[in-house]
Structure 1
């Protein structure tokens, strides 16, 4: 599927049918968001992500979506080919030529001179061993270069085998006059701010709360895709909530606490990757399973970043129903709250409980315990032996009051007496 989509992108570019939508945006803000998104992937390879920037970078008037795709691809490649190293993005501004200059450098495997001459050719990787070890279609960098050229910029590369690679991108701070007709009107441009005070959406289904299997939030900027998913959900006896962009979706997830989230990856301004990071970093939403949906084959990256599952577009109703049944909290044995420091034994217990179909929440302090109980009433509570004695007594006293107030929970003060937790 990734190969097919890459070929389609390449065909669109070469036929002149790839459209550029110009708007004003802060390129440094987008790079910072992408670095937060890629941080777990970098950590997985023991890599350090660094952003260096001058203070005078003006906003760009160009295609923000293509800019985001370009740098996501470059960061993903750098993480893929670098282990126990450093990945740096340097952003400067050339006032003389009025170009923003971006250097994406890594200390990875690098390339030989012969490999370097073919790096932007379609369907070309360094060699067959690279394809076998690292995967990929060999189209990514070819598409990146053509994206940059569509944006009226330039892209070059330097590399040394065993030392690393640096990609340099130059983009004009203002697009050519003739491209202004492609601009998104200012009144239609949404802020990149993740202000969670945004308005919520009403439920869009006739399924009653009493009969419903759960509540599912659909975050998708395409109204036709959104309505199709909502019809699928209704037929599967779920209550559907909808959001037309990531900002609204994050707000609804915080306010209405759905059981599951269906999240589209390719959305303008705040994309699905950024939304996934926000949802998984927030204590109030990190427990909600997120199912990614996209025409791009990004399942592995999505799972690494915390998604519960992945659905290729167009979404197959039966496949969606199967995943919803698997993740649906009402199909689980119950909710378990683990109050324990982060240890290997806690991790093992979490895995065991998840395998046994428990919905798990974790807390390491009194404040988090209260927050988790307010989010969802647990059916069983585990307190790790590694917690400070005074904290345990305070938590037990609080839980006793909650239990007297009707909290349906069983209390265990022993995760594993033979371990630290």
Structure 2
């Protein structure tokens, strides 16, 4: 049986599209996807470019602030504060209790050693002296009587001894006479002791009377007077201060508190200058005469007291004035000096090293900004430091060794640096 064997497409109810329609539809979708992919890639490129321009901002340039190395003098100072005080200051009290009858000096009164500055009421003390004198007279009279009694007893003893030898008197009478004589000797010795006691009591009464007169122990000037006539004075272990007398005010001292970090640099004989609030534009000379070993702690801060001698011929300086002293602990002449700002400076210049990757990186590696890295000097060891010189517009590191510093400049003791070399102290970044 023969027939037409060519396949025929059938479309029943439109359920199966023909092959040509499907192929055309597939080609059309693939084109849209390629267009979409290209759009995404282009967008990423634009974003990367914008990011580069935003982050990189163009190539960085730097302008530098420089200061030339120079020869000059350098003085290292230790600053300490304290107060002006007299070299000698004595608190005058009373060793005797009583009522203050007279006061002979006032504030700023000049006094001489031994001069009377005050006197207590002496009525009772004078009566005590008279009583002691009377007791001494009575004791001496008792001695005289005991001597007479002793002599009488001695005569009786001698007489009875003769009578006993002549067998006129008994041995019993002789023994009684001997005992009586010995008793008079003891009475005489006791009376003599009473005289010594009375003499001591009189001396004490006279001493108490003398203490009622208060005198200046030194030549000087009265800084303070804390009593008035009529005041009651009570002598004790902590007797109240009546007067404070300072020695010669033409020779004063400045007592300063030196920080424990600085005390090792301060020594006797070092020169200093100081200022006081009363004369802010004037500097007064001084010299270290002592640095105490004993520490003083205030609010957990440890200090050591330094004493500076001060010439006060003009009498401008007064006791208690607050002073700030600059002590010269080191002085260098014609040293090579660099500013401390140059020692602190370290350049932050860029090292432009575009990344490359053997595995590729595509368009992102092209637009990646250069890496920025600070040029840091090695860590200093001991007195070694690194400074940066500006040569042909480029920072060049130079290693040096340093010595003393005054807080603003430092002495160079070793290194490839000369007077006039431009030292970089700061930089300012900009964009081309």
TM-score by length of structure 2 reads: 0.17
Greater radius of gyration (CA): 2
Q: Which one has the bigger helix percentage?
A: 1
TM-score by length of structure 1 reads: 0.18
Q: Which one has the bigger strand percentage?
A: 2
